[in-house]
Amino acid sequence: MRAAGVRPNFYKESVKDMYVLQLVLSGLQQGGVLALLSMGLALMFGVLRVVNFAQADFMMLGMYGAILMYAAFQLNFAETSLLLVIPAFIVGWLVYELIIRRVAQAKLTSTPEHAQLLATLGLSLIIQNTAEMVWGATPLNLESSQQLSMWHIGSLSIDQPRTIAFGIAIAIGIIMLLVLRGTYIGRAVRAAASDQEAASYVGVNVRRVYGATFGVAVAISVIVGSVLVSYYPATPLAGNDFILLMFTAVILGGLGNVMGAMVGGLLLGLIQSLSQLFIPLELNSAVVFVLFLVMMLVRPSGIFGEVNRL
């Protein structure tokens, strides 16, 4: 009788352990994409000191771009992300030259950062409303055979698009960190972020560095959108679902800290996923708000601390 009584308990514990493992896997997959999105925002703030409210809206444009590329050429989201990099970089560079730099030079407020913040907020509204006029408000999905593909390891189910998106996000994040730390381009970026005037004295073209940084950050968001649309519907307001998550991940890792943003995004994905063990799914977003407020009150500089030098 005792042996028969042990089996149900053991079975329940095994099922619970598998469920927790599934949540951890889902959290890492979502956190990897969020980490890459947050790294672009942290890079922009660390170099240009610009809080870009339109960052998630460029991600939304990447989602629609992937849908259009698939409809025209039947390319999967991984191939589409590679083709969208250069156009996205050019768009980001133009946005910096035509809007961000001009607003900073105009000195419309006592501090250029305030004017740039309002400019990016206005740009966000323009992008959202333009997207709604072009594509409408109806959610669109990527009609791909990969969309519902799954790998099965025992009772563990692994979503292929989410896993591929996670792999792309982590690979790009690592490459970006290596470039920042170990190349001449990375040293020029860090020099411009640390001291604009001193960097110009040693031959760094600060204006070009700033434009390239903004372009890279926008390209990162577009890449995220092109892989995210494989399992997340595209709408003109899709960026609003991620903007709070992005800022929370950046604050969690430390303002301007690119590596911290990567870790913050992964942690946030795990926290969101594992919170389902304790609270209803409908209250999932409340976890982000609470975490955001706690970090602002307890450690506003983030886990790794805010960096004044990238």
How many angstroms separate the Cα of 219 from the Cα of each of 36, 69, 81, 147? Answer: 11, 16, 9, 23
Q: Per mean pLDDT, which of 25-29, 213-217, 229-233, 287-291 is the most reliable?
A: 213-217
Chain segment 39-64, per-residue pLDDT in tens: 888 888 888 888 889 999 999 999 99
For residue 131, the model assigns a pLDDT of 95
| Least trusted range by pLDDT, from 105-114, 136-145, 208-217, 228-237 | 105-114
For residue 108, the model assigns a pLDDT of 54
How many angstroms separate the Cα of 177 from the Cα of each of 173, 198, 217? Answer: 6, 23, 13
For residue 268, the model assigns a pLDDT of 87
The candidate with the shortest Cα–Cα distance to 179, out of 169, 193, 168, 190, is 190
For residue 111, the model assigns a pLDDT of 62
Residue 157 β-bridge partners:
152
Instruction: Indicate whether 73 pLDDT > 70.
Output: yes
The rounded mean pLDDT for the chain is 80
Average pLDDT over residues 106-126: 76
Percent pLDDT > 90 in the chain is 17
Instruction: Indicate whether 308 pLDDT > 60.
Output: no
For residue 9, the model assigns a pLDDT of 59
How many angstroms separate the Cα of 220 from the Cα of each of 40, 79, 225, 250, 275? Answer: 6, 15, 9, 15, 28
Percent pLDDT > 70 in the chain is 84
Q: Which residue has the higher pLDDT, 126 or 160?
A: 126
Residue 156 β-bridge partners:
153
Q: Which residues contact 146 (CB under 8 A, 6 or more apart)?
A: 76, 77, 160, 161, 164, 230
Average pLDDT over residues 282-301: 77
Average pLDDT over residues 141-169: 69
Instruction: Indicate whether 187 pLDDT > 90.
Output: no
Q: Is 34 exposed, middle or buried (0-12, 13-18, 19+ CB in 10 A)?
A: buried
Q: What token pair was written down for 197?
A: 């005037």
Average pLDDT over residues 133-155: 73
For residue 1, the model assigns a pLDDT of 44
Give the chain's end-to-end CA distance (angstroms, integer). 65
